[in-house]
Structure 1
Amino acid sequence: MEALRYLLSLPRFADQGRTAYRPGLARMEALLAAMGCPHQAYPCVHIAGTNGKGSTASLLAAIAQAAGYRVGLHTSPHLWEVGERMRINGVPASAAWLERAVARYRPLFERVQPSFFEATVALSLLYFAEQQVDLAVVEVGLGGRLDATNIVHPRLAIITSIGLDHTDILGGTLAAIAREKAGIIKPGVPVLTAAQQPDALKVIRQTAARQQAPFHHLRDEVHLEAAVPAVSRMRLTVRTPVRRYVDLELGLSGPHQATNALLALRAAELTLPEVLDDPRPIWQGLRDVKRLSGLRGRFDVLQTHPLIVADVAHNPDGLAAVLKTVDQFHPPGTGRRYALWGALRDKDAPTMARQLVQAGFAVYVAAFENPRAWSAVELVALVQQAGGQVVGAGTVRDGWHLLQQRLDASDVLLITGSHQVVAALPPVLWLHAYASPAQIG
Structure 2
Amino acid sequence: MTYDQTLEYLFTRLPMYQRVGKAAFKKDLTNTLKLLENLKNPHKKFKSVHVAGTNGKGTSAHGIAAIMQTAGYKTGLYTSPHLKNFTERIRINGKEVSPEFVIEFVKKVIPVIEEINPSFFEITVAMAFEYFATQKVDIAIIETGLGGRLDSTNVITPEVCLITNIGYDHMDMLGDTLEKIAAEKAGIIKKHVPVVIGETLPETAPVFEQIAENNEAVLIKAGISNWKPKVLVPAYLLKNMGGIESVIHELIRQGWDITEKHISDGVEKINELTGLKGRLQVLGESPLQIADVSHNVDGLKSLFDQINQLKKGQLHLIFGSVKEKALKPIFDLFPKETKLYWTQSSVPRALSVEELAIQGVMHGMEGECYQNVNEAIDAAKEKARPEDLILITGSTFVVAEVDEL
Q: The TM-score by the shorter chain falls in which range?
A: over 0.9
Report deviation, 1:14: 1.1
- Name 2:298's counterpart in structure 1: 317
| Matched-pair contact (CA < 8 Å) for 1:313–1:418 | yes
Q: Quote the Cα distance in structure 2 between the aligned partners of 1:274 and 1:154.
A: 15
Paired residues of 2:51 and 2:143 also in contact (CA < 8 A): yes
Partner of residue 150 from structure 1, selected from 151, 154, 172: 154
Task: Give CA-to-partner distance per residue, 1:310-356, whole Å, 9 cap, x none.
Answer: 000111111111101101112xxx42111111111122223222322
* Inter-partner Cα distance in structure 2 for 1:205 and 1:336: 46
Q: Does 1:336 align with 2:311?
A: no
CA RMSD of aligned residues (A): 1.6
**Distance (Å, rounded) in 2 between the aligned partners of 1:178 and 1:82:** 29
Q: Give the alignment partner of residue 59 of structure 1, picking from 51, 63, 70.
A: 63
Distance in 1, Cα, partners of 2:342 & 2:301 = 18
In the alignment, what sits opposite 2:171? Answer: 167
Out of 330, 336, 340, the position equivalent to 1:363 is: 340
Structure with greater strand share of residues:
1
Residue 143 of structure 2 is matched in structure 1 by 139
- Of residues 389-398 and 309-318 in structure 1, the stretch that sits farther from structure 2 once superposed is 389-398
Alpha-carbon spacing, 1:359–1:132, altered in 2? closer, same or farther (3 Å): farther
* Whole-angstrom CA distance in 1 between matches of 2:145 and 2:258: 34
What residue number does 1:82 align with? 86
The corresponding residue for 1:201 is: 205
Matched residues in 2 for 1:295 and 1:87: separation? 11
1:198 is paired with a residue whose SS is coil
1:4 aligns with 2:10: no
Q: Distance between the aligned counterparts of 1:78 and 1:117, measured in 2?
A: 11
Cα distance, 1:249 vs structure 2: 4.1
Query: Which letter maps to 2:206?
Result: K
Q: Deviations over 1:22-58 (max 9, x none)?
A: 1111111100011011111111000000000000000
SS at match of 1:308: strand
Moved more, 64-73 or 277-286: 277-286
8 Å Cα contact 2:225-2:245 kept in structure 1: no
CA distance in 2, matches of 1:75, 1:338: 30
1:353–1:59 CA distance, 2 compared to 1 (3 A): same
Which amino acid letter does the alignment assign opposite residue 335 of structure 1?
A: G
Shift of the 115–277 alpha-carbon distance from structure 1 to 2, 3 Å rule, reads closer
Q: Which amino acid aligns with 2:185?
A: K
Paired position in structure 1 for 2:325 = 347
Q: Does 1:391 align with 2:371?
A: no
Cα deviation 1:242-287 (Å, max 9, x = unaligned): xxxxx45466231x22121221122111114677773221121111
Q: Which range moves more in the overlay, 44-53 or 392-401?
A: 392-401
Aligned residues with identical type, % of pairs = 35
Match of 1:285 in 2: 266
1: CA distance, partners of 2:231 / 2:193? 28
- Report the counterpart of residue 422 of structure 1 in structure 2: 399
What does the per-residue CA deviation read over 1:289-319, in whole Å, with 9 as the maximum and x for residues that have no partner?
A: 1111111111112223212110001111111
One-letter code of the match for 1:80? K
Q: Secondary structure at the match of 2:157?
A: coil
For residue 216 of structure 1, what is the aligned residue in structure 2?
220
1:108-147 paired onto structure 2 within 5 Å = 108-147=112-151
Distance 1:250 1:269 in 2: 24
SS in 2 for 1:199: coil
In structure 2, distance between residues paired with 1:417 and 1:366: 10
1:263 aligns with 2:240: no
Partners of 1:360 and 1:211 lie apart in 2 by 51
Q: Matched residue of 1:383: which SS? A: helix
Q: Distance in 2 between matches of 1:276 and 1:353?
A: 46
The alignment partner of 2:113 has SS state of helix
1:370 corresponds to which letter in structure 2? Answer: V
Give the 3 Å change call, closer, same or farther, for CA 128–346 of structure 1 in structure 2: same
The match for 1:18 is 22
In the aligned structure 2, how far is the partner of 1:335 from the partner of 1:319?
A: 19
Matched residue type, 2:340 = V
How many Å separate the matches in 2 of 1:157 and 1:359?
40
* 2:312 is the counterpart of 1:308: no
Which is further off, 54-63 or 85-94?
85-94
Distance in structure 1 (CA, Å) of the matches to 2:337 and 2:143: 34
Q: Is the 8 A contact 2:163 2:185 kept in 1?
A: yes
* Contact 1:275–1:282 under 8 Å retained in 2: no
Q: Which amino acid in the other structure matches residue 373 of structure 2?
A: V
Tell me the CA shift for residue 421 of structure 1: 0.7
**2:40 match: secondary structure:** coil
Name the structure 1 match of 2:45: 41
Deviation at 1:109, TM superposition (A): 1.3
* TM-aligned CA distance change 1:153 to 1:94, over 3 Å: same
Offset from partner CA, 1:57-115 (integer Å, 9 cap, x none)? 00000000001110110000000111111111111112221111111211121112110
Could you tell me the TM-score, scaled by structure 2's length? 0.95
Partner of 1:243: none
Task: Show the counterpart of 1:73.
Answer: 77
- Work out the CA distance in 2 between the residues paired with 1:146 and 1:130: 25
Equivalent residue letter for 1:7:
L
Equivalences, count: 400
* 1:271 partner amino acid: L
Question: 2:174 touches 2:181 (CA, 8 Å); kept in 1?
Answer: yes
Q: What do the CA deviations read for 1:118-151 (whole angstroms, capped 9, x no partner)?
A: 0001001111111111000000001100100001
Mean Cα displacement is larger for which, 313-322 or 263-272? 263-272
Are the counterparts in 2 of residues 58 and 289 from structure 1 also a CA contact under 8 Å?
yes
Write out per-residue CA displacement over residues 159-217 of structure 1, whole angstroms, 9 at most, x where no aligned residue: 00100000011111100100000000001100001223111121111110111100001
Mark the runs of 5 or more structure 1 residues left unpaired by the alignment. 226-235, 237-246, 431-441
